[in-house]
Structure 1
Amino acid sequence: MSDRETMPETTGRETPGGAPALPAEALRIAAGYAFTGPALDLGALLWDEVCLPDAQVRIPLAVLNRHGLVAGATGTGKTKTLQLIAEQLSAQGVPVFLADIKGDVSGISAPGTENDKVRSRAAEVHQQWSATGFPAEFYALGGLGHGIPVRATVTGFGPVLLAKVLQLNQTQEQSLGLIFHYADTKGLELVDLKDLRAVVAFLTSDEGKAELRNLGGLSTATAGVILRSLTAFEAQGMGAFFGEPEFDTAEFLRTAGDGRGIVSVLELAAVQDKPQLFSTFLMWLLADLFHDLPEVGDVDRPKLVFFFDEAHLLFNGASKAFLDAITQTVRLIRSKGVGVFFVTQTPKDVPADVLAQLGNRIQHALRAFTPDDQKALKATVKTFPNSAYDLEELLTGLGTGEAVVTVLSEKGAPTPVAATRLRAPQSLMGPVEPAELDRAVTSSPLYERYAQAVDRESAYEKLAQPPAPEADKPRAKAPKEEPSMVEQVVGSGMFKSLARSIGTQVGREITRSLFGTARRRR
């Protein structure tokens, strides 16, 4: 039987008299997944602890921009589920973005290895399995790890996301926004962290206090706190993530020559001890896509599906403004053809306003060893529509590679809750060798575009250069290593003439999104 044949009238346990009729409730569930258009095949229905291979559980391709959630305890198979979905999206021409937290997703580029477990799973769910690798690009934040460097300019990253990384409070976040606004209006480009430090240092200096007073609501004390936070942040080695060339998120929307969608894998293993940083960087990528993409409305297939791993890290300690921006971005980005799947342990890790927008749900097993676990289990059960299963019992008894599924139908209605034995990925379930990964990175057509960092003249250099006594005298460029930022900025004595000359720049406009992210438009 082919993967897409419809389910026969009877299936289930074999008996001497033949296959008995499918139980009525199981038949109702299976009918909810009998879609007519293109769909992704997740696996086969489980009913009464029996796998019913002819009752296929699927997700319509057209509803994947309605977002989703993949949840479950550690070790229950979430990563393999992401790999399974990414493979099928790629095969149907849809680009995919995956965050690789543990460094084990790179195998999607290589054919899988057939073994007894794979053959057994394929037979159980009526999967026609064949070892297949998929087109992939590999990226690394700031070039830390095996990947094409992904950088953001400070201007592009914006004040809201930077405040999250710096762990500023609400007042300090608002003050940082005023500093960005000041730099924008004065034409002071914030490319890297030393640019922002230079602007803040000036505003806290004797010469800059007049400018500071014009920024209503920004106190010298708060600006000083921000400056110290920036200095400490950079001292931790975070400067590599900010600079040029800034990554263009349109790279994620590409397809390969054979029409398959390219899987973009962002390696985060080298920065997994910096969760505030990488989770916020993921949000920058998503916000940048939202900022740049045109409205397309409902489409027959997404332009991109973005998997946001370790999603709880994004929401931990987030301000109300930050959460509101996430909620609105998720709500609106679907009309730009982008689907977002949050990946975490339980639905309660995701704020209710965001969770309400996640129409496709794949819930792996949960543990109930402690009172907190039991509370999380009950909360998870309440997030599902009416179910024919005892979900509390089912969710604690699922095996690895099994999940409870409910998705949106082609008409946008929730499908019945279906316990599912998932298919096996066809690519390598593990990392490729580092040498092979490095070859893939350096042979990419994108490597030369982003590999080498560029340090051009920007706010720091402009503020640190001395005034020219003659109009035609070349202005000296600041040295790369500065003994004292405040001394160099304040000692320049040329800010007033600088502000007059670059208060407005012809053809330069900065527009900022919900998150304060920005692109320069020329």
Structure 2
Amino acid sequence: MTQDIFIGGGGENYATQQFLDLGYANRHGLIAGATGTGKTVTLQILAEGFSAAGVPVFLSDVKGDLSGLAKSGSADHKLHGPFTSRADTIGFDSFAYDAFPVTFWDLFGKQGHPVRTTVSEMGPLLLSQLLGLTEAQEGILNIAFRVADEDGLPLLDLKDLQALLVWIGQNAKELALRYGNVSSASVGAIQRRLLVLENQGANDLFGEPALALDDLMRCSEDGRGVINILAADQLMGSPKLYATFLLWLLSELFEELPEVGDPDKPKLVFFFDEAHLLFDDAPKALVDKVEQVARLIRSKGVGVYFITQNPADVPDDILGQLGNRVQHALRAFTAKDRKELRMAAETYRENPRFDTEEAIREVGVGEAVTSFLQKKGVPGIVERTLIRPPSSQLGPITTMERTEVMAASPMSGKYDTRLDRNSAFEILQKRAEQAAKEAADAEEKAEAAETPALREFNSARRYAGKGVTRSTSRRPQRKSQEGFGTAMANVVMKELKGTTGRRIVRGILGGLFKGR
């Protein structure tokens, strides 16, 4: 296996070949440029290069174009026509068409194998970001996770979290003594956000079997790294869900993988397309989390490559850690655009042969300004580079071809059937049934204990007259507060009774509007 990935030709007449050194590929990278300048092709040839070197890849297919990695390219293909002479221009003598080992994934289970995680694995911080919660609402969500841990209530899917939040809302006073104020209005706001999330398809994301990270880090029988492609064209309709899922996956890799230092090549390369979605309106705590992961995950052997239209979309602290860069053309029509272009140019090591700012503005489609880390991690001199042609097919494969790839995948059948094991919802339901049974038994015992004389005495004490218009005495004090299990059980029973009818109606309406 080669230790370099050929990117394209640079220098005078594109005669100087540009390579990405695998030994520094875990130092992260950036692919930037305006729409239509060639970012997708650059992503495709990088994925091919890593796979050929035995490095597994994870990437999201935002536009539906990258499924072509599973099929060999062809000189007869209409999109490969412009690349016919490019290999000769840049001296790519070993160029050949080829298909690569691909596994398709899809949060909705339609264009790939289902991808799931549990509510517990997502955690309160990322879930709060996904829901767009306020600080107070995030505090209540943290209380929910703490209660679940302390009372042995596994939070696997959304209905587990929803049932627990109902109990928290009804027992706010008791919880406030230990955790601080719990506002029922805030609990209701979280429930509404969960409902919106559920309508966006999050039910498909949360549940079991959860994705095993080892399944993303596989190699094929011939030693090539498997390219994991997440279908994201439908997912982009819920941008927060998309960004939060990818950040969760990065966090899981960071927490689960062992330290490996600086390996000869990465254990996995992770491409984060439409990276601006991760940072738009993100709270500082989340940005700090991303920075921490980006800074430390390279020691786990994982390289992270952000793909975005403008480098300014990525915070400076994170941008400074991206050592390998491919900058396609940037448009500068406004003063703000020109300022951002100038700032982008200043992040490169200057080349005396040309002006970097001018080059970024002028490079054509399929051409880029590149800089890759060299020995001892020193950034290479910026170079104007003509990107090499991809070996796999440009553009998507057919639905039938995708189905055939999925059927032949080792992942076929592993995640297809959803599991619903005993978790918070089922435990609360069982407690509710037990509490109802105990209450009924107690009432029967109380009635059986009454003697005929006692019943006659109690009846005689009752006043059956009319005309009393107001109470002349205080209302009787309520009995002592219910225990934890009984209170939780009663609340869940109310919730179950209240939602059954609504779910039936929603099912009927869903059928009526299914053909929209």
Distance 2:40 2:311 in 1: 17
In the comparison of the two structures, how many residue pairs are matched?
A: 439
1:295 aligns with 2:284: no
Distance 1:242 1:428 in 2: 34
TM-superposed deviation, 1:467: 4.3
| Amino acid across the alignment from 1:179 | A
Aligned with residue 319 of structure 1, among 283, 290, 295: 283
1:56 aligns with 2:17: yes
TM-superposed deviation, 1:131: 0.9
1:413 aligns with 2:378: yes
TM-superposed deviation, 1:220: 3.3
Relative to 1, partners in 2 of residues 1:363 and 1:194: Cα closer, same or farther, differing over 3 Å? same
Aligned with residue 51 of structure 2, among 87, 90, 95: 90
Structure 1 residue matching 2:234: 3-state secondary structure:
helix
Aligned with residue 459 of structure 1, among 413, 419, 424: 424
Provide, for residues 166-217 of structure 1, a one-character-per-residue CA deviation record: whole Å limited to 9, x for no partner: 1113332233223212212221111111111111111001x45313442235
Structure 1 residue matching 2:14: 3-state secondary structure:
strand
1:140 aligns with 2:101: no
Distance 1:86 1:235 in 2: 34
Provide, for residues 474-507 of structure 1, a one-character-per-residue CA deviation record: whole Å limited to 9, x for no partner: xxxxxxxxxxxxxxxxxxx88426999xxxxxxx
Provide, for residues 247-283 of structure 1, a one-character-per-residue CA deviation record: whole Å limited to 9, x for no partner: 1122111000000000000011122211111111111
Q: 2:31 corresponds to which residue?
A: 70
1:307 aligns with 2:271: yes
Q: 1:171 corresponds to which residue?
A: 136
Relative to 1, partners in 2 of residues 1:446 and 1:76: Cα closer, same or farther, differing over 3 Å? same
Distance 1:169 1:123 in 2: 57
1:366 aligns with 2:330: yes
Structure 1 residue matching 2:82: 3-state secondary structure:
helix
Is the contact made by 2:156 and 2:207 (CA closer than 8 Å) also made in structure 1? yes
Structure 2 residue matching 1:117: 3-state secondary structure:
helix
Structure 1 residue matching 2:167: 3-state secondary structure:
helix
Structure 2 residue matching 1:366: 3-state secondary structure:
coil
Structure 2 residue matching 1:133: 3-state secondary structure:
coil
Is the contact made by 1:142 and 1:151 (CA closer than 8 Å) also made in structure 2? no
Relative to 1, partners in 2 of residues 1:468 and 1:173: Cα closer, same or farther, differing over 3 Å? closer
Is the contact made by 2:172 and 2:184 (CA closer than 8 Å) also made in structure 1? no
1:391 aligns with 2:324: no
| Amino acid across the alignment from 1:322 | L
Structure 2 residue matching 1:295: 3-state secondary structure:
coil
TM-superposed deviation, 1:333: 0.5
| Amino acid across the alignment from 1:235 | N
Provide, for residues 345-397 of structure 1, a one-character-per-residue CA deviation record: whole Å limited to 9, x for no partner: 11110011111111111100111123332232122112223332212211111
Q: 1:17 corresponds to which residue?
A: none
Is the contact made by 1:463 and 1:495 (CA closer than 8 Å) also made in structure 2? no
Q: 1:448 corresponds to which residue?
A: 413
Aligned with residue 231 of structure 1, among 187, 192, 195: 195
1:107 aligns with 2:68: yes
1:124-273 counterparts in 2 under 5 A?
Answer: 124-127=89-92, 128-143=94-109, 145-205=110-170, 207=171, 209-216=173-180, 218-273=182-237
Distance 1:38 1:443 in 2: 30
Is the contact made by 1:296 and 1:335 (CA closer than 8 Å) also made in structure 2? yes
| Amino acid across the alignment from 1:76 | T
Is the contact made by 1:133 and 1:427 (CA closer than 8 Å) also made in structure 2? yes
Relative to 1, partners in 2 of residues 1:333 and 1:222: Cα closer, same or farther, differing over 3 Å? same
Relative to 1, partners in 2 of residues 1:470 and 1:71: Cα closer, same or farther, differing over 3 Å? closer
| Amino acid across the alignment from 2:103 | E
Distance 1:366 1:441 in 2: 38
Is the contact made by 1:60 and 1:410 (CA closer than 8 Å) also made in structure 2? no
Aligned with residue 389 of structure 2, among 424, 436, 439: 424
Structure 1 residue matching 2:91: 3-state secondary structure:
coil
Is the contact made by 2:29 and 2:304 (CA closer than 8 Å) also made in structure 1? yes
Identity of aligned residues (%): 44
Aligned with residue 319 of structure 2, among 324, 336, 355: 355
Is the contact made by 1:43 and 1:125 (CA closer than 8 Å) also made in structure 2? yes
Structure 2 residue matching 1:165: 3-state secondary structure:
helix
| Amino acid across the alignment from 2:51 | S
Is the contact made by 1:203 and 1:209 (CA closer than 8 Å) also made in structure 2? no
Runs of 4+ in 1 over 4 A off after TM superposition: 469-472, 497-500
Q: 2:455 corresponds to which residue?
A: none
Gaps of at least 5 residues in structure 2 are 439-481, 490-516
User: In angstroms, what is the RMSD of aligned CA positions?
Assistant: 2.2
The structure whose residues are more often helix, as a share, is 2
Distance 2:488 2:102 in 1: 46
Distance 1:171 1:415 in 2: 47
Distance 2:383 2:130 in 1: 39
TM-superposed deviation, 1:160: 1.3
Provide, for residues 440-469 of structure 1, a one-character-per-residue CA deviation record: whole Å limited to 9, x for no partner: 113322121101111222111211232437
Q: 1:79 corresponds to which residue?
A: 40
Is the contact made by 2:118 and 2:155 (CA closer than 8 Å) also made in structure 1? yes
Structure 1 residue matching 2:306: 3-state secondary structure:
strand
Normalising by structure 1, we get a TM-score of: 0.80
Distance 2:400 2:324 in 1: 37
Gaps of at least 5 residues in structure 1 are 5-36, 473-492, 501-522
Distance 1:137 1:74 in 2: 27
Is the contact made by 1:62 and 1:410 (CA closer than 8 Å) also made in structure 2? no
Distance 2:200 2:244 in 1: 17
Q: 2:485 corresponds to which residue?
A: 496
Structure 2 residue matching 1:187: 3-state secondary structure:
coil
Is the contact made by 2:428 and 2:488 (CA closer than 8 Å) also made in structure 1? no
Structure 2 residue matching 1:448: 3-state secondary structure:
coil
1:334 aligns with 2:295: no
| Amino acid across the alignment from 2:99 | G
Q: Which has the larger radius of gyration?
A: 2
